[in-house]
């Protein structure tokens, strides 16, 4: 075994934009065409107009089959923040989901088999998705449902090699302890490329993330976990100064402000200090939320609402179904502030408690909020660094794009994704629930389960070398 | 900051047996004397004879104050193993406990301030304990209870430096998702050494673990998390061949059988495959367990029982109280099989599901079981490698001692702790829920929360360099 051979393969793919199968421009064009060639109609309907969904005696919204997901209630008590107790609706989907990408070497470079996939909640319907998105039921074919394409490479029926396999969290404010399995495999055999699928390098996928709402959340979370053996670069590639700084933040382990063990101490301290006591309650016992025929909403119209939609898709075949979706009250911002400390880029990481978290707190971006809540002064308190982010100079912005939440659950929800380099005067000293971490350290924590939250991972996935 | 300065301090202390304050022999003698000088009487009594404890309407055993712990019921469903559903009593103690050790440099060597502490459940009453064992309530002095000695160094009132701060799990078969904060701090100021406390090096503590039931579980779990910067050894110390092999297993990152990312993939696969659905139920709804006046026991007298005891301690002062304890049905074995692979010691680690686990499975020793259950053929199935461990040749045993479970909860419970080097013919290929790991890798997983279970950590704490 060549040590770190997988990481070198990932690194080389991240540095490759030349692709004989399809150029990055053509890949963007392909997704645009897919979007144009499809007729999608999403209508907000009454809950009672969804034939396969019903409210149980506790007011929880469930599917007739008992499968998929349900909308239930939780009561939350915590000594975190300014609100000691609240109740809210939450998505309960206990099954681990599978997000899998097939890769294959062509001329020594790793290509990712990516899918143009429709999700009803997406703003633009079709986005770049992993090779496979499946529930455990259809992954394991327990219920003999429609067999997902390429399943045979993931379940052991056909030969493949595991390149990455991580259990990662979903949105803690919306899902109750939900996790997905993020998998990348490598296939050596010839493999059929089905309609709607293309081979792309990791460099191309990251490049495409510079565009709004092109690369879906499932892709972003899977590629965020990819480890890079950056030490093997050895000046192999030309790169800009920014790129050199990014590389240094991945390589350097000598100049980090806090050692990894100190970051673990900091997390331990916060997890020991803060309680998160979550009890499942019937949805109709959730205080300050109202259900009418069309939606379930907070009395101040904050946070989000649960709506019912009818989906009609007219493509090669016609499909129609109805389902609940989560509709955010406003657009949000997620932003990492980064700063050169000891000559190395450090990311300002926030420890954030969210009701659905698996283990009290997760590591979040510097800023993660619904902007509207705060702009209107409706909020319980102002998030740290919100003003800084809203008033940043254009030249400080290293990355900026709107990115969508998962379109199978969320209705046209997009967040502004930002990476911002702070000015020289920005203090190294930060509040108790913040800490500076290098990319090397973020990479280490990310690969252990349930440390980086999905918003942080989304931003990390956008970090590119070229 | 000198990189890894803390790890070097720990390493040097682990290599030091010379102690001007007290020799190892005298430290053992001191504990013996403490044991002799104390009169302890433990009587099994009726539940109704405990004035401060009562059974609530669901049959759960609770303290009048609502504090401490309670004995409740759980119903467990899982696709792991051969028993798809069972119910059992479990200890519920939601508060994070604090286990803290003060260290201080004398002549450049780190000394640990250890306590001779009585616990009612201990076979021999007095064992070597951390500087402080506290609940969050008396740690934070919320209820203004008796202030633990040395608290001021842990809560920030007096100056100290954090050396280690980890959140670690307790016994998953007995506790519901219980975790303790394991803390080591360093103090520079002069510090009073109270009666019952002594300064010991890490080398001495590990040496004392060669004796049965001398070093208590709380000490073992705290020191198991200590990281060593073994690369800085540079032939600084003389050591035996065994010691060299141990050091290599800490240093070497090139010859491990599985890379760390592959171990993460293996854990992800198992966590995605196996369900652990635990529901809290009233204790009187737990099937196949019976409550009489004196105990709550399994109908086959397997596993453990809950008993009530009156404790009478006559020392410098006389103390008396009553409380429930857990009484194990038999002694147990915990054992690591280790094998040189690629010239490096690898430990055979088991992924084990236990009902109270925080996250489905934790990494356990190769063998972890109650021996009696299996010897009598009462068990649902035979654990892997039990026969091998029971029939091992004496020269294969690298470590063997009886070690106690926490005497505040468990009644005279001791387990045989074994580290065994397998013979050359022992296969490298192992069952699905086992994997070979070097000490370097175990050290990495151990410092992230909830990977290594308490039994594995107990064994790891016994690994010594001299």
Looking at residue A4, its pLDDT comes to: 82
Three-state SS for B82?
coil
CB atoms within 10 A of CB A334: 23
> Quick one: which H or E segment has residue A30?
helix A24-36
Are residues A343 and A438 part of one domain?
A: yes
| Measured distance CA(A30)–CA(A27) in Å, rounded | 5
ipTM reported for the complex, 2 dp: 0.90
Strands (E), B34-137: 39-45, 53-55, 61-63, 70-78, 85-92, 97-106, 109-118, 126-129, 132-135
Are residues A339 and A217 part of one domain?
A: no
- Write the DSSP string, B325-364: EEEESS-EEEEEEEEEETTEEEEEEEEEE-TT-SSSEEEE
- Two tokens, residue B175: 């506790």
- What residues contact B343, with CB distance under 8 A and at least 6 apart? B248, B255
Q: Is residue A237 part of a domain?
A: no
Q: How far is A181 from chain B (nearest CA, A)?
A: 7
Q: What average pLDDT is seen over chain B?
A: 92
Looking at residue B3, its pLDDT comes to: 63
DSSP state of A410: B
- Two tokens, residue B1: 């900051």
pLDDT at B229 over 80: no
Q: Quick one: average pLDDT of A400-420?
A: 94
DSSP state of B461: H
Q: Quick one: average pLDDT of A268-278?
A: 94
Are residues B67 and B20 part of one domain?
A: no
Q: Quick one: average pLDDT of B254-269?
A: 94
Looking at residue B136, its pLDDT comes to: 78
Q: Is residue B191 part of a domain?
A: yes
Residues of chain A neighbouring B267 (CB-CB closer than 8 A): 167, 449
Last residue of a domain, one of A231, A265, A300: A231
Q: Quick one: average pLDDT of A24-30?
A: 98
CB contact under 8 A, B447 and A3: no
Q: Is residue A282 part of a domain?
A: no
**Which chain A residue's Cα is nearest to B342?**
A1
Q: Quick one: average pLDDT of B155-178?
A: 93
Q: How many residues does chain B have?
A: 466
Are residues B296 and B147 part of one domain?
A: no
Q: Quick one: average pLDDT of B354-361?
A: 94
Q: Quick one: average pLDDT of A33-45?
A: 93
* Nearest-by-Cβ selection for B271 from A6, A162, A167: A167
Q: Does A448 touch chain B (CB under 8 A)?
A: yes
* Nearest-by-Cβ selection for B272 from A181, A277, A450: A181
φ, ψ for residue A190, nearest 5 deg: -55, 145
CB contact under 8 A, B167 and A271: yes
Structurally, how many domains does chain A consist of?
Answer: 3
Q: Is residue B281 part of a domain?
A: no
Half-sphere exposure (CA, 13 Å, Cβ side) for B410? 25
3-state secondary structure A53-82: EEECCCCCEEECCCCCCEEEEEEEEECCCC
Alpha helices in A346-398 (DSSP H): 371-375, 386-390
Are residues B26 and B123 part of one domain?
A: yes
Looking at residue A161, its pLDDT comes to: 95
pLDDT tens per residue, range A156-198: 899 999 999 999 999 999 999 999 999 999 999 999 999 999 9
Are residues A204 and A142 part of one domain?
A: yes
Q: What average pLDDT is seen over chain A?
A: 92
| Measured distance CA(B344)–CA(B249) in Å, rounded | 6
Residues of chain A neighbouring B181 (CB-CB closer than 8 A): 268, 272
- Two tokens, residue B57: 């309407």
Are residues A383 and A372 part of one domain?
A: yes
- What part of A 342-381 touches B (C-beta under 8 Å)? 358-359
pLDDT at A373 over 80: no
Q: What is the CA radius of gyration of chain A?
A: 22
Three-state SS for B296?
strand
pLDDT tens per residue, range B81-109: 989 999 999 999 988 889 999 999 999 99
Are residues B447 and B359 part of one domain?
A: yes
Query: Residue B313 sits in which domain range?
Result: 42-80+291-328
From A310-324, B142-156, B314-328, the region with the lowest mean pLDDT: B142-156
Looking at residue B149, its pLDDT comes to: 94
CB contact under 8 A, B96 and A272: yes
CB contact under 8 A, B261 and A447: yes
- Write the DSSP string, A116-179: EEE-TT-TTSEEEE-SEEEEHHHHHTTT--PPPTTHHHHSSSS--EEEEEEEEE--TTTBSS-E
**How do strand A397-404 and strand A318-328 relate by DSSP bridges?**
unpaired
CATH number of domain containing B163:
3.90.79.40
Block residue for tokens 């010839």: A190
Are residues A257 and A217 part of one domain?
A: no
Q: How many residues does chain A have?
A: 466
Q: Is residue B465 part of a domain?
A: no
**Taking Cα atoms as reference points, which of A110, A104, A105 lies closest to residue A16?**
A110
pLDDT at A331 over 80: yes
Are residues A74 and A19 part of one domain?
A: no
Handedness of CA B152, B157, B162, B165 (dihedral sign): positive
**Which chain A residue's Cα is nearest to B6?**
A261
Beta partners for residue A324, in sequence order: A308
Residues A69 and A92: beta-carbon distance below 8 Å? yes
Q: How confident is the model at residue B144 (pLDDT cuts 50, 70, 90)?
A: low
Q: Is residue A284 part of a domain?
A: no
Looking at residue A139, its pLDDT comes to: 73
Q: How confident is the model at residue B253 (pLDDT cuts 50, 70, 90)?
A: confident
- Angle at Cα A247 formed by Cα A241 and Cα A250, nearest 5°? 150
pLDDT tens per residue, range B332-341: 999 999 999 9
pLDDT at B374 over 60: no
Are residues A74 and A201 part of one domain?
A: no
Looking at residue A443, its pLDDT comes to: 95
pLDDT at B233 over 90: no
| Measured distance CA(B313)–CA(B308) in Å, rounded | 16
- What residues contact A33, with CB distance under 8 A and at least 6 apart? none
Looking at residue A1, its pLDDT comes to: 42
pLDDT at B378 over 60: no
Q: Is residue B283 part of a domain?
A: no
Q: Quick one: average pLDDT of B222-251?
A: 80
Q: Quick one: average pLDDT of A240-263?
A: 88
Looking at residue B1, its pLDDT comes to: 42
Q: How confident is the model at residue B379 (pLDDT cuts 50, 70, 90)?
A: low
Residues of chain B neighbouring A6 (CB-CB closer than 8 A): 261
Q: Is residue B85 part of a domain?
A: no
Looking at residue A242, its pLDDT comes to: 75
Are residues A438 and A320 part of one domain?
A: no
């Amino acid at each position: 075994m060549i040590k770190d051979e997988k990481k070198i393969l990932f690194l080389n793919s991240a540095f490759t934009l030349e692709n004989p199968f399809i150029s990055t421009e053509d890949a963007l064009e392909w997704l645009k065409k897919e979007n144009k060639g499809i007729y999608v109609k999403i209508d907000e309907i009454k809950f009672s107009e969804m034939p396969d969904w019903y409210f149980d005696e506790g007011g929880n919204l469930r599917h007739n089959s008992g499968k998929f997901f349900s909308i239930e209630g939780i009561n939350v008590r915590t000594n975190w923040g300014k609100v000691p107790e609240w109740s809210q609706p939450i998505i309960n989907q206990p099954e681990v989901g599978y997000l899998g990408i097939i890769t294959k070497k062509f001329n020594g470079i790793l290509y990712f088999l990516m899918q143009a996939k429709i999700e009803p909640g997406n703003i633009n319907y079709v986005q770049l998705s992993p090779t496979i998105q499946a529930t455990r039921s259809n992954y394991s074919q327990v219920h003999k449902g429609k067999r997902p394409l390429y399943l045979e490479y993931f379940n052991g029926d056909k030969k493949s090699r595991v390149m990455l396999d991580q259990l990662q969290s979903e949105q803690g404010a919306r899902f109750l302890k939900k996790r997905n399995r993020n998998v990348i495999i490598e296939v050596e055999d010839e493999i059929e490329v089905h309609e709607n699928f293309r081979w792309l390098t990791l460099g191309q996928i990251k490049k495409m993330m510079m565009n709004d709402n092109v690369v879906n959340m499932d892709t972003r979370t899977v590629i965020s976990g990819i480890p890079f053996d950056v030490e093997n670069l050895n000046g192999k590639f030309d790169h800009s100064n920014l790129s050199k700084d990014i590389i240094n933040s991945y390589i350097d382990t000598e100049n980090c402000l806090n050692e990894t063990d100190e970051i673990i101490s900091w997390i331990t301290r916060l997890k020991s200090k803060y309680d998160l006591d979550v009890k499942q309650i019937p949805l109709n016992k959730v205080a300050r939320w109202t259900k009418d025929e069309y939606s379930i909403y907070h009395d101040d119209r904050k946070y989000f609402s649960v709506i019912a939609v009818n989906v009609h898709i007219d493509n090669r075949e016609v499909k129609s179904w109805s389902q609940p979706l989560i509709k955010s009250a406003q657009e949000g911002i997620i932003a990492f502030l980064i700063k050169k400390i000891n000559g190395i880029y450090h990311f300002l990481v926030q420890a954030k408690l969210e009701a659905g978290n698996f283990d009290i707190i997760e590591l979040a971006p510097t800023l993660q909020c619904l902007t509207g809540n705060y702009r209107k002064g409706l909020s319980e308190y102002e998030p740290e660094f919100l003003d800084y982010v809203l008033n940043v100079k254009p030249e400080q912005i290293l990355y900026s794009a709107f990115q969508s939440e998962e379109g199978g659950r969320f209705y046209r929800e997009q967040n502004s994704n930002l990476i911002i380099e702070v000015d020289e005067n920005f203090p190294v000293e930060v509040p108790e629930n913040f800490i500076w971490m290098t990319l090397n350290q973020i990479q280490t924590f990310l690969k252990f389960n349930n440390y980086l939250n999905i918003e942080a991972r989304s931003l990390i996935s956008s970090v590119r070398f070229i």
